[in-house]
Each structure stands twice: as structure tokens, then as C-alpha cells.
Amino acid sequence: MAGEAERRLRDRLARLKNVPLLGGTRLDAEAKRLEKQLADLEAQPSDDEIWRSVELARHSERPYTLDYVSRMLDDWVELHGDRGRADDGAMVAGLGSLDGRTVVLVGMQKGRDIQERTKRQFGMPYPEGYRKAMRAMELADRHGFPVVSLVDTPGAYPGVAAEQHGQGGAIAASQSLMARLEVPIVACVIGEGGSGGAIAIALADRVLMQENAIYSVISPEGCAAILWRDAGEARKAAAAFKPDAAHCLELGVVDGIVPEPAGGAQNDWKEAARLLKQSLLDALNDVAGLPGDELVRRRREKFRSMGVFA
């Protein structure tokens, strides 16, 4: 099935071509632009494939952060609390041993059953969660441990208390800290990379994405509700803003795609963890040996070059 986007492009192109009297240069350029977009569309994941990623990224059997922790790390000491106010269940942080070296791992955690989901706030951190991650990353910086960040959140928690405790400021502060850390940072989106809530812990030297993860500025439902005025148009919205790994790689937002077992990570957690561990180690080796100030310089340069404009 041709995507809605493609159909509309074809329509517009057909209409343009049927206006011979107006065939000035501007119209010509427009037609060329549409043709290029069509060619791009055909080479890229279809709307259905994008939606399949959205579904797999949210699959209820998909491994979560702690499932990877227990399969990837030889030792794990979880740390609790932000040292200010609370211990946010939606964010986990701790010290672990990855292939013989000590790392600090931070990541969002979703719940499997209804009790755990409530306790973990569906993986949506409060500001306290980001401050807990920051505390752990500061520890890493002090002692020279690399940071591994696993991103899996629909977004930062959208509640009254979260706002009162400074949600926006906490997300900004976490990024600001990561822009200063003099230790290697590798992040991987392992499920949903939802907006500001995700980027808060994803300002890394290497950013990876699992094959069926999504990374986006807004949820498909949120985008549909605003731009289509109908949350039911989520499929169309996802097709339009392209949150899948292939598009993120193409746009230069992520550095690599981590393969998943056939059919998705939910089918074989052990294999998914093995593949993720391998990619994390490769990425860490990639930046190993660089002095702290050089890491910081390159990390900032990487993010400062993002964007497309004329």
C-alpha cells in the first residue's frame, strides 16, 4: 500500500505537470523537488514499516533496561535517590562491570505488571529521576568511569508535581552536565526515545538505536492530536515525522543501528542483550583513549552540527 505521503506527493506532481502555461522556473523547481522527494520515499522504509517499529518499540514483552543490565553486566550495584528529595522508580542508575571494566549505567525503566508500571510511572521520570541520573554521571566523572545510558521512555512525566519540581530545568541541567563530562558516554535508544524526556540522558559521544526503537520529538498520538486535530491519526503522524532507526541514521541523529533478533528484541532477550553489549563495547572502544577535553570538544561539535537549513 502506498503511503498517504506518497499519494499526496504524486497528486501534487501530477497537478503541477498539467499546468503547462505556468511552466516557469519556479514551478519547474517545485516539480523537481517533488520528484526527488518521491525517489527518496521509495528508497526508505514504508509507512507500514515505520508503524511496525512504533509497535515493536512499545511491545509489552520487549526487554527493558534492567533486563539488559542482568544479561550484559557481570556485576551491578544499583544506586538509589537523587540526594535531594526522592528515589524515582522510572530512572535506574548504578555501577556495573561491563566486560571487565567498571561503568556507570543510567536508564529509564518501565514496568511489566500493573503494580510495577505504577511504581515506575510507565518509564516517565520526574525531575528527581533526571537528578538521580545526574548524580550517578557526576560520580562517573569523578572516578573516570565511562557512562552507558539506555533510553526508553514515552517522555518526561507530565504532571503537576513534576512541573513544580522543575521538569524543564532538570532536563536542561542533565544535558548541560553531559556536555561537560570528561568521560566517554555511549547512549542507546532501546525502545521509545520520547522527546525531551529522552534527550535528557542522550547527549553522548556515540548515540545508538536498536533496529526497532523509535526516537522522536513528540509521540505519534501527540503529533496527530495537534496537527491533525485527531489522536487517531497517529499512523499518519508517524509516517510524516519518521521516528524509525533508518531515518534517524540518515539524518545523522544516531551513529549506528544495533541489530535485534529476528522479529524483534521481544523474541529472544538473551540474544538482544548480546547484540546490544557488543555494540556498546564497540562504541566505547571507538572513543577510548581520547583525553577528557577532547571528548567534550568533539561531543559538543557533534551536537552543534545537527540541523538542516539554507
Partner 1 sequence: MTDTRIDVSIEQKGPPASGEETRKHPNTCPSCGSHYRDDELDAQLGVCPQCGHHFPVGARERIEQLADPATFAEEESGLRSSDPLGFFDLRPYTERLAEAELKTGEGDAIVVGRAHIAGVSCQLAVMDFGFMGGSMGSVVGEKFARACDAAAERGLPLVSVTSSGGARMQEGILSLMQLPKTVCAVEDLHDARCALINVFAHPTTAGVLASFASLGDITVAEPGALISFTGPRVVQQTTREKLPDDFGLAESNLRFGHLDAIVPRSGLRTYLARVLRLFANGG
Per rule CB under 8 A, is residue 256 in the interface with partner 1? no
- Name the DSSP letter for residue 83: S
Per rule CB under 8 A, is residue 219 in the interface with partner 1? no
Q: By CB under 8 A, what part of segment 22-41 binds partner 1?
A: 37, 40-41
**Shortest approach of partner 1 to residue 289 CB, angstroms?**
23
Beta bridge partners of 188: 150, 208
Among 69, 108, 203, 265, binds partner 1 (CB under 8 A): 203
Which stretch, 18-26, 81-89, 142-150, 242-250, contacts partner 1 (CB under 8 A)?
A: 242-250
Q: Which three cell numbers stand for residue 241?
A: 515525522
- For partner 1, give the closer residue by CB, 173 or 281: 173
Alpha carbon separation from 264 to 59, 62, 195, 220 (Å, rounded)? 9, 8, 23, 20
Among 65, 109, 153, 195, binds partner 1 (CB under 8 A): 195
**Shortest approach of partner 1 to residue 93 CB, angstroms?**
20
Among 173, 235, 261, 282, binds partner 1 (CB under 8 A): 173
Per rule CB under 8 A, is residue 156 in the interface with partner 1? yes
**Shortest approach of partner 1 to residue 200 CB, angstroms?**
7
Q: For residue 108, which amino acid is it?
A: M
Task: Tell me the C-alpha distance between 9 and 40, whole Å.
Answer: 12
Beta bridge partners of 287: none
Among 107, 184, 191, 222, binds partner 1 (CB under 8 A): 222
Per rule CB under 8 A, is residue 21 in the interface with partner 1? no
Among 76, 86, 228, 278, binds partner 1 (CB under 8 A): 228
Whether the CB-CB separation of 265 and 60 falls below 8 Å is answered with: no
- In terms of DSSP bridges, do strands 147-153 and 101-108 run parallel, antiparallel, or are they unpaired? parallel
Which stretch, 18-26, 55-63, 165-173, 267-275, contacts partner 1 (CB under 8 A)?
A: 165-173
Q: Which three cell numbers stand for residue 250?
A: 540518515
- Name the DSSP letter for residue 212: T
Which stretch, 17-25, 86-94, 143-151, 227-235, contacts partner 1 (CB under 8 A)?
A: 227-235
Task: Tell me the C-alpha distance between 217 and 33, whole Å.
Answer: 25
HSE (side-chain half, CA atoms, 13 Å) at 191: 25
Kindly report each contact of residues 234-240 with a partner whose C-beta sits within 8 Å and lies 24 or more positions away, as own/partner: 234/54, 235/47, 235/51, 236/4, 238/47, 238/50, 238/51, 238/54, 238/214, 239/3, 239/4, 239/5, 239/47, 239/50, 239/51, 240/5
Per rule CB under 8 A, is residue 179 in the interface with partner 1? yes
**Shortest approach of partner 1 to residue 36 CB, angstroms?**
9
Per rule CB under 8 A, is residue 187 in the interface with partner 1? no
Per rule CB under 8 A, is residue 110 in the interface with partner 1? no
Phi, psi of 254 (to 5 degrees): -120, 155
Q: By CB under 8 A, what part of segment 278-307 binds partner 1?
A: 299-300, 303-304, 306-307
Per rule CB under 8 A, is residue 243 in the interface with partner 1? yes
Name the nearest CA neighbour of 111 among 53, 54, 65, 160. Answer: 65
- Give the residues lining the site for partner 1 (CB under 8 A): 5, 8-9, 37, 40-41, 156, 158-160, 162-169, 171-173, 175-176, 179-180, 195-196, 198-200, 202-203, 215-218, 222-223, 226-229, 236-237, 240-243, 247-248, 251, 253, 299-300, 303-304, 306-310
